[in-house]
Amino acid sequence: MDSILTTTKHWLASLLEDSMVENITEIIKQIGRLEAEQNYAEAEYLCQQIIADLPSSEQGCIVQISLQNRLVSILEAQSRYDEALNIIQSAQAKLKEIKASIDPNIALSLSITNLSTLGTLQRIQGNYAEAEKTYQQAIELIETQGTENHQAKKTQLANYLAIVYKYWGKFEAAESLYQDTLTTLIQQHGIQHPDVATVYHNLGGLNHARGDFETAATWAGKSYQLHLELFGTQHPQTIADGAALGSILHGLGQWDRAIAHFKTAIAFFEQHFGSMHYDVALNLNNLAASEQAKGNLAAAEPAYRRALEIKTHVLGEFHPELAITLNNLASVLKQRGKIREAKILFEQAREIFATTLGEEHPNTKVCLDNINSF
């Protein structure tokens, strides 16, 4: 954020009177504070206001593109992905329009930022092949045209690409990138750094996806403890780590401990983001899974149904994350003797997985096994 503020002020200084530059710079700082407080509605309004007031000159367009990337992050935090995608596409079009006539270093930085933002949206929407290409394109730009100043961004992009591979089921590729990223970050910042905790978190998630819960618990525990030390108990990242640890505890059969983490996360995310947010749905799904494992099917079914409703609202009707909850709800319905609806949901989940992840993906195969179990 600081670098954006500095460069924005520099560009505006050539366009506007000093008093107006200071005013806009202060508003941008205020946007950052509002984001940190999860006051996204006000942050969005201020961001839109600055964009609307910018001049149409090349310098004004440069600032606009930077702020559009900030706006995408604000929209993404509210799970407004379609709107966010439209904004980043607008930023890409604007950059293409002015690229030939602006400083090449500025054009490169904006290109990398746009690609990074787009890749994240593609990953969230389940378009893993597209996200892979987008991140690889950004990394290639840094490797062929970048300077030392871009190396931190390259490390970040490698981590983002590893996340794509994890969700895509390409676990070995994800492991290699995570370990390389972790080594680089510790060399640069030492162990007590938020980015190091993030990679710990991601390694926990990767081993969880592999079914190696003991290793996953080690990484997740390191991440949770480090975020506690850095941010305290009531920080979104600490809460997210607690929820991730809950998922691993579920895998270890420690369901009551897992449920406590999920309930804490649901209450936190509902309070800060509202009831129709992806993180609420994610933790409802996981809460339901632990209730199901305990044999409390009467509690599991409504939690799955609510998670399904939120995911459909946030992600649309054809997303691999939606298929996870469809499959899970179907399994509860089967256990409760609601066979007809269970078969329908298993088929819907299998179709989504097969189309988005492929016939050979583990989730697709699990759904097929569930269908064949009747």
Each residue's pLDDT tens digit, 179-226 = 999 999 999 999 999 999 999 999 999 999 999 999 999 999 999 999
pLDDT at position 65:
94
Each residue's pLDDT tens digit, 96-145 = 999 999 999 999 999 999 999 999 999 988 889 999 999 999 999 999 99
pLDDT at position 11:
44
Q: What is the mean pLDDT of each successive set of 10 residues along the chain, which is 374 residues long?
A: 40 48 73 79 90 86 92 84 93 95 93 96 90 97 90 92 94 96 94 95 93 95 95 92 94 96 96 89 96 97 97 87 95 96 96 89 91 90
Return the amino acid letter for 253.
G
d(CA 70, CA 176): 30
pLDDT at position 1:
30
HSE, CB side, 13 Å, CA atoms: give it for residue 121.
25
pLDDT at position 228:
94
Out of 1.25.40.10, 1.10.10.10, 3.40.47.10, 1.10.3720.10, the CATH code matching 104-190 is 1.25.40.10
d(CA 19, CA 116): 33
pLDDT at position 2:
34
The domain limits of the chain are 1-102, 104-190
Q: How many residues does the chain have?
A: 374
Residues in Cβ contact with 341 at an 8 Å cutoff, skipping those fewer than 6 apart: 330, 333
Measured CA distances, 317 to 304, 312, 323, 330 (Å): 16, 5, 9, 16
